[in-house]
Amino acid sequence: GGGETFGDRSLSQGLSVLVGLGLCVTMLGLGCAVELGQLGQQLRRPVGLLLALLGQFVAMPLLAFLLALIFALDEVAAVAVLLCGCCPGGNLSNLMSVLVDGDMNLSIIMTASSTLLALFLMPLCLWIYSRHWINTAVVQLLPLGAVSLTLGSTLLPIGLGVLIRYRHPRAADLLVKISLWSLLVTLVVLFILTGTMLGPDLLAQIPASVYAIAVLMPLAGYALGYGLATVFKMPPHCRRTVSLETGCQNVQLCTAILKLTFSPELIGSMYMFPLLYALFQSAEAGLFVLAYKMYGRDSYKQDTLGEEEDTDISYKKLKEEDVADTSYGTVTAEEHNSIQMEPTQTAL
């Protein structure tokens, strides 16, 4: 019954529309978060671009491939895991970076650059790592052209968002917030609808190994990202940012590719994998944030004392901070030819 429901044409088309709209709103929000001035600055010092390249298209695809081999997944499950591992970074990392006092310029540039690089590197990574399952029907049907087309279609909302940011910054700030809420709502709705359409029988057919990979993969991604930033000798707040950027995948894109390029009968219950990944990457990132709030804030204040610089682009309105007093001291004259500086406290 679950398989027939999932294969129902009207329901399938409705789900495809929801997935497509959710992806467009997310990409629009990503574009609205990018400032051209900051983008040029990062390109002149392309550490964010390099980290996005290494994290999203070297570390994560290799991790997905190794986990698929270690857990001896069949070709259908392996393709779902590889697709998720080869996806660029997602917007969830931007929100989480705010909560751990990360470098928002670095976070947004990494997300945007990995999305653009995915246009060429994601099909290449899928082609390389699917060689192990090359003689299976699913891999032979792997639609690399459709993957590229889906990725290319995301460039339009991203470009529109950049234009809105350039022309109407306040509207861009609002759209960023809308896209973040849209991300959360879309994932919840997709999880509920897909679980209902698949039915308990097909959900029970998802192997325990797939659940294990959905738990381990984002956790390992966070650790790999932190290690990568440590190798580059980045400050602690940048390490936290790179960690979140590496482990958080664009599951909306993965879901869209699975939904729009594979028939429901072929992909079956593995359509749930990116949603499971989204669930566990969010939960683990939440624990990361909780641990930082409990144990890491004091060290962050010490690290940034004397070098305070707001690197936030458009997510700064999400922070609930006091406005800093911009006065650093007052000059008073007590005697003739005598000038004294009286420092005043500045709110950090």
Q: What is the Cα–Cα distance from 346 to 348, expressed in whole angstroms?
A: 6
Q: For every residue of 153-221, which 3-state class applies, written as one string?
A: HCHHHHHHHHHHHHHCHHHHHHHHHHHHHHHHHHHHHHHHHHHHHHHHHHHHCCCHHHHHHHHHHHHHH
Whether 29 maps to a domain, the answer reads yes
* pLDDT, tens only, 2-53: 444 444 556 556 666 777 777 788 778 877 877 776 666 666 777 878 888 9
* pLDDT, tens only, 176-223: 888 877 777 777 777 776 666 666 666 677 889 999 999 999 999 999
Whether 92 maps to a domain, the answer reads yes
Choice between 134 and 62, residue whose per-residue pLDDT is larger: 62
Whether 166 maps to a domain, the answer reads yes
Q: Give the domain range for residue 75.
A: 15-294
Whether 165 maps to a domain, the answer reads yes
Average pLDDT over residues 316-335: 47
Whether 312 maps to a domain, the answer reads no
pLDDT at position 115: 84
pLDDT at position 67: 95
Whether 334 maps to a domain, the answer reads no
pLDDT band at 262; cut points 50, 70, 90: confident
Whether 182 maps to a domain, the answer reads yes
Task: With H, G, I as helix, E, B as strand and everything else as coil, classify residue 312.
Answer: coil
Whether 347 maps to a domain, the answer reads no
The residues facing 89 across adjacent strands are 249
pLDDT band at 306; cut points 50, 70, 90: very low
CATH number at residue 157: 1.20.1530.20
Choice between 81 and 2, residue whose per-residue pLDDT is larger: 81
> How many domains would you assign to the chain?
1
* Percent above pLDDT 70 for the chain: 67
Position 183, amino acid = L
Please state the pTM of the whole predicted model. 0.73
pLDDT at position 94: 78
